Amino acid sequence: MADKSSESLLPVARMYYVQGETMDAIAHHLNVSRSTVSRLLKEARDRGLVRVTIVDPERPLGRMADLFQRYFNVTAHIVQVRPGASSVFRLDQVSRTAADLLASTVQDSDTLGVAWGTTTSAIAAHLRPRDLHGVTVIGLNGGANHQTTGLPYVGSILHRFAEAFNGQEQLLALPAFFDDPATREAMWREQSTQHILGVRGNCRVALFGVGGLHSELQSHVYASNYLSEDDLRELRDLRVVGDVCTVMIREDGSFRDIPLNDRATGMTPRELQSIPRRICVVTGLSKASPILGALRAGVATDLVIDQETARSVLTRMKPGIRLI
């Protein structure tokens, strides 16, 4: 084996890398020492006869997370869900990750703001109790509508979060949307309302989903009598794609000139930005457009999302983008 031409190196490389032989077995077969085999394999790599490629199964997720950080300044927690999974299963898996992230985020004496909805209700089901002190859980948006109070539904969600963190819930006992903007302006001047809005404004952590006007797993606000047919028609005409905290947004992130928002009680994207940690949890391929709108509006510091939905969002934002 003194000759180290390519012809003599290739058999060694094939036995080790292709046939899976051990160095000891190769040394015995060629009647050389194990160290000689090791040196031959190194030389085969150095000469380019052998190229070792390491495939990191997490890298596509890391690449997508890097892109979310670069374009939207958010930390993306991307959940692997099997391709073709149902929307209900996808939501369940993402909600589990979100519950774990929230549990590691909330600390003693924190005020946690929660926007009611299908997503946060699913997250509440996966919360594990923590023995914290002084935690307050408050709604980020009102929940009543013109047919029901809506408050039992909203209250049950907030209660589960408060129970998990050994805290107290404070319900925002207001409608999701007032009938008249002037009514909201008058209500906002009331001392009792100002107090609860002050608590909400001092949240350290916020948790919310993104509602989609046309999502396959329909958002609660669009399925439960919160909006009239006239409201929905106007939103479509104004190119609204969804909502965050029942504040309507377009895909470009704009929201200020949408009339319905003058009647909404949820925190606007600008108000949300005053909260240090803002966890947005979302899933569903049909939500790519509203997710883009939410991210462009700057609502989140953290995004919990499944891999397929993340891919859909990024390719919608930048067709042809390289994700691997």
Calculate the CA dihedral of residues 157, 209, 286, 318 and round it to 10 degrees: -170
Cα–Cα distance between 314 and 324 in angstroms, integer?
A: 12
Instruction: Please tell me the predicted confidence (pLDDT) of residue 193.
Output: 93
Q: Please choose, from the candidates 34, 193, 220, 19, the residue with its C-alpha nearest in 3D space to the C-alpha of residue 119.
A: 220
Instruction: Please tell me the predicted confidence (pLDDT) of residue 264.
Output: 95
Collect all residues with Cβ–Cβ distance below 8 Å to 231 and sequence separation of at least 6: 260
How many other C-beta atoms are found inside a 10 Å radius of the C-beta of residue 51?
Answer: 7
Amino acid at 18: V
Instruction: Please tell me the predicted confidence (pLDDT) of residue 47.
Output: 78
Instruction: Please tell me the predicted confidence (pLDDT) of residue 146.
Output: 62
Torsion over CA: 201, 221, 173, 158 (sign): negative
Helix intervals (H) in the chain = 6-13, 23-30, 34-46, 59-72, 87-105, 118-124, 151-164, 181-188, 191-201, 220-223, 229-237, 269-272, 288-296, 307-317
Query: H or E stretch including 136?
Result: strand 136-139
Predicted TM-score of the model (pTM): 0.78
Residue 2: pLDDT band (50, 70, 90) is: very low
For tokens 């998990």, the residue is 164
Cα–Cα distance between 115 and 280 in angstroms, integer?
A: 10
Residue 180 half-sphere exposure toward CB, CA atoms < 13 A? 4
Query: H or E stretch including 247?
Result: strand 247-250
CATH fold for the domain made of 60-317: Rossmann fold (3.40.50)
Instruction: Please tell me the predicted confidence (pLDDT) of residue 151.
Output: 62
State the average pLDDT over residues 286-305.
96
Instruction: Please tell me the predicted confidence (pLDDT) of residue 182.
Output: 96
Q: 248: which 2 tokens? A: 């309507």
The predicted-structure confidence for 68-85, as pLDDT tens digits, reads as follows 999 999 999 999 998 888
DSSP for residue 172: -
Instruction: Please tell me the predicted confidence (pLDDT) of residue 55.
Output: 45
The predicted-structure confidence for 147-197, as pLDDT tens digits, reads as follows 655 567 788 999 999 999 999 999 888 889 999 999 999 999 999 999 999
DSSP annotation string for 174-214: SBSB-SSHHHHHHHHTSHHHHHHHHHHHT-SEEEE--EETT
The predicted-structure confidence for 5-62, as pLDDT tens digits, reads as follows 566 788 898 888 877 788 888 998 899 999 999 999 888 887 777 766 544 555 567 8
Instruction: Please tell me the predicted confidence (pLDDT) of residue 52.
Output: 62
Q: What is the mean pLDDT of the chain?
A: 88
Q: Please choose, from the candidates 151, 102, 112, the residue with its C-alpha nearest in 3D space to the C-alpha of residue 134.
A: 112
Strand order through the sheet with 75-79: 75-79, 302-306, 277-282, 205-208, 111-114, 136-139, 168-170
Domain definitions of the chain by residue range = 8-47, 60-317
